[in-house]
Amino acid sequence: MEIRKPYLMFLGDAHDQLAVKTAQGVVDWRRDWCLGQLRLEGCKADLGLEDMTIAEAAEAGVKTMIVGTVSPGGVLPDYWVDTIVSALDAGLDVATGLHKRLGSVPAIAEAAKRNGRQLFDVRFSDETFATGRGTKRPGLRLLTVGTDCSVGKKYAALALEAGMRERGLKADFCATGQTGVLISGRGVALDAVVADFISGAAEWLTPANAPDHWDVVEGQGSLFHPSFAGVTLGLLHGSQPDAFVVCHEPTRTKMRNVEHPIPSIQSVIDRTILEGSLTNPDIQCVGIAVNTQALGEDEAQALLKSISQEHGLPATDPVRFGVGPIVDEIVARFGS
Amino acid sequence: MEIRKPYLMFLGDAHDQLAVKTAQGVVDWRRDWCLGQLRLEGCKADLGLEDMTIAEAAEAGVKTMIVGTVSPGGVLPDYWVDTIVSALDAGLDVATGLHKRLGSVPAIAEAAKRNGRQLFDVRFSDETFATGRGTKRPGLRLLTVGTDCSVGKKYAALALEAGMRERGLKADFCATGQTGVLISGRGVALDAVVADFISGAAEWLTPANAPDHWDVVEGQGSLFHPSFAGVTLGLLHGSQPDAFVVCHEPTRTKMRNVEHPIPSIQSVIDRTILEGSLTNPDIQCVGIAVNTQALGEDEAQALLKSISQEHGLPATDPVRFGVGPIVDEIVARFGS
C-alpha cells in the first residue's frame, strides 16, 4: 500500500477540530504533502491550509484526496459520497480511515472503476501476509512500546524519525495504525490483520535493510493491556527491535477502557526485554518518552529528571522538549 | 455458531487416510454424532462408519454434512460441489474447514438460500466480538498450553473434558481451532479472528458460568513460537485460566516451521504464570501432557516419571496412559 502524494485534505462538515484529528496528524507531520483542504458548508474545522475545490486541487497536482475526518454518526453521509465521486472523476485517488470500505458504496466503486483510480481503506488490510519466521534480518529497528494504549507511541516514533534524520541517521517511520498509514503514505493497520499473521505482517513492514538503516516502528497497545497484548507481542516478535523506547502518561491511574492498573516503567522494560529476546537477544531500552501535558514546566522537568535517574536512561517529553537525549543515546550505543 | 447434530461425514475422493484427519477427529471424539459416511468413487479413506447416500442420511435423521477432508489441490472440486448441493437440497446444513468459503461458490450459495439451509465455514469467523475486558468472571477454566504448535493441545483438552466428566465434574471443551469446532459443534477458529479481538473472542468463548463449572479450553501455538505467540497470549489473557496443562513432544528439536529451539517445560510454566497472572493472579499448572508416541513403553514410563519428579506435577501421555493423574490433581486442588 503506497498512497500517492501530494494530498487534498477533505474535512467534510466536521463538527469541531477533534473530528479532523487524523487529518491534523497528517498536516503536523507531512505539511509538504498537503496542498490544500476541502471544506463543506457548515464545517467547523480548519487545518490552516489553502481552501481548494477539487478542480483547483487537480490543477495544482494533487494525486490523492484524504478523508481524514470522523463523520457525524460514524457513517459516510450521502453528500460526502458526491464529493468523493467528483474527486475520482477528476483523476484523484481517495484514501480514508473510515470503518466502512469506500468500495462498499456502489457509486464510489463505480467511479473508481470508471476512472481507473485507487481507493485506500487504511483500516483494512488487503495485503496477504506469510506467518512470521522469527529469523534475524539485517538492518536496525526501533520500536516504541507503552505502559498503556494512547500514550504517544506514534508521536514518539515520528519525532524520533525526524530527530534521527536531523542527526544524519537513515531512519524511516513504519506505520502500524490507520493514522500512521495516512501520515506516512504506507504501512499496515496491524489491529485489522488476521491473528495468525500479526508477526508476519510486522516482518513484512520491516524487511531486511542496510546494516545502518533504522526502521522506527510505531508501537501498538501494551504487553500489560488485557485487550491488546496479543497484538503488542506479535509486533514485538515480528519487528525484532534492537532498541525500544517506553512511552508513558504519568497522570493515568488505570489502563484505557479496562480496570487494570498502569504497570511501572521498569516492568515494561523488563517484560519487553524478556519477550523481545525471542527474536532479538540484543534488544535494549534506549529511553523513556513521557507525556507531561498535564504538568507544569517545573514539575515536568523534575519528573523527567527523576525517571531518568531511576532507570539510568534518557527521559524526555518528545512534544515539549524534543527527542534529542534519546537520539544521543542511540548514537552512543549504535553509532552515527 | 452451533452446528446441528447428527452428522454425515463426506470424504469425497480422499487420496489417503491422512486427507480425512479432521473427519477422523470428529469420529474419534463424537462417535455418537456420526451416523454415516459418504464416499465418492476412488475414495481411499474409511472412517469405519456405515456408507450412506444423501437420501439415506436424511432419512436417518442427519442434520449436517461435514466436509472434513482435504481436497486434492486444496480447492473445492466441481464434483464435490454437486454432492454439497444435493445435501442442501435434501435439507441438510453443510459445515467445512476448507480455506474457501462454501458460499463463495454460486451453486452452493443458491442451494443454501433456496432450501433455507446454513453453511458453516469454521475457518472463518462471522461473529462480531468486543475487545477483551480482562475482568474476572465466575466459573473455572483450564487451558492447554504448549512448548510448540502441534504437540497435542486439542487432544489433551478433549481427553481432560472426558476424564473430568467421568469423575463427575462439570466440564465443557471449548474449541479454538477448526477441527475442534467441528468436533464440538461450536467454538471459534481463533487464528482467523482479527488481531484486536483475540482476547475478546476468548472471553466470548468462555463466559461467566457456575462456580464449579470447568471450561476446558483448547490451546493455540506457544508463547515461545515467533509466528503465533500473539494468538497464544491473547487466548491466555481472554480465557483467564485457573489451571493449565503444558503439552510437550520430547523428540522435537526445533519449533514447527521455524528455526527456534523448543523451550523447556519449566520455562513454559514460568512464562504462562507470569503472563497469565495479568487476568488471573491465581493461575497454576496442574500437569504435563507428553506425546510419547515415538518412544517404547518402558522409555515412555521412565520419561514421564522423570518429568513428574522434576516439576512436582503429574505427567502423563493422554493417548497412551489416560489423563487420570491430572484429573486427580485438579480434584485435589479445586475440589470435586
Supply A128's cell numbers.
496477504
Identify the DSSP state of A112. Answer: H
B260:A132 CB<8 A: no
The residue length of chain A stands at 336
Q: Which of residues 213-242 of B touch A (CB under 8 A)?
A: 224, 226-235, 237-238
Domain B140-334 class in CATH: alpha beta
The reply to whether B140-334 shares the fold of B7-121 is yes
Q: What is the pLDDT of residues A168-220, one digit of tens each?
A: 999 999 999 989 999 999 999 998 899 999 999 999 999 999 999 999 999 99
Rounded mean pLDDT, B228-249: 98
Q: Which of B132, B190, B257 sits opposite A227 (nearest CB)?
A: B132
Please identify among residues 132-161 of chain B the ones whose CB lies closer than 8 Å to any CB of chain A: 132-135
- Indicate the helix (H) or strand (E) that contains B298: helix B297-311
User: Grid coordinates representing A319?
Assistant: 512534544
Query: Does residue B162 register a pLDDT over 70?
Result: yes
For chain B, domain boundaries: 7-121, 140-334
Q: Give the pLDDT confidence of B178-202 residue by residue, as tens digits.
A: 899 999 999 999 988 999 999 999 9
Give, as one character, the DSSP assignment of residue A317.
-
Span A57-85, average pLDDT? 89
pLDDT at A316 over 80: yes
Ramachandran angles phi, psi of A237, nearest 5°: -65, -45
A43 touches chain B (CB under 8 A): no
Report whether pLDDT(A126) > 80: no
Q: Return the C-alpha torsion angle A269, A273, A279, A283, nearest 10.
A: 80
Q: Which grid coordinates are listed for A47? A: 487545518
Query: What is the CATH code of the structural domain delimited by B7-121?
Result: 3.40.50.720
Give percent above pLDDT 70 in chain B: 99
Residues of chain B neighbouring A277 (CB-CB closer than 8 A): none
**Average model confidence (pLDDT) across chain B:** 95
Q: How confident is the model over B239-294, as pLDDT tens digits?
A: 999 999 999 999 999 998 899 999 999 999 999 999 999 999 999 999 999 999 99
- What is the rounded average pLDDT for all residues in chain A? 95
- Shortest distance between the Cα of A225 and any Cα of chain B, in A, equals 8
Using one digit for the tens of pLDDT, what is the confidence trace for B88-140? 999 999 999 887 889 999 999 999 999 999 999 998 877 789 999 999 999 99
DSSP letter string, B208-246: ---TTEEEEEPP-S-TT-TTTHHHHHHHHHHH--SEEEE
* Nearest residue of chain B to residue A192 (CA atoms): B194
Put simply, whether A282 touches B (Cβ < 8 Å) is no
Residue B72 has pLDDT above 70, yes or no: no
C-alpha cell at A281: 537477544
Q: How many CB pairs under 8 A join A and B?
A: 124
CA distance B243 to chain A (A): 18
Q: Is residue B291 less than 8 Å (CB to CB) from chain A?
A: no
User: What pLDDT, in 10s, does the model give residues A255-299?
Assistant: 988 999 999 999 999 999 999 999 999 999 999 999 999 999 999
Chain B interface disruption, residue of A196, A223, A235, A264, most B CBs within 10 A: A196
Range of weakest confidence among A298-312, B94-108, B210-224: B94-108
A-contacting residues of B 92-111, CB under 8 Å? Answer: none
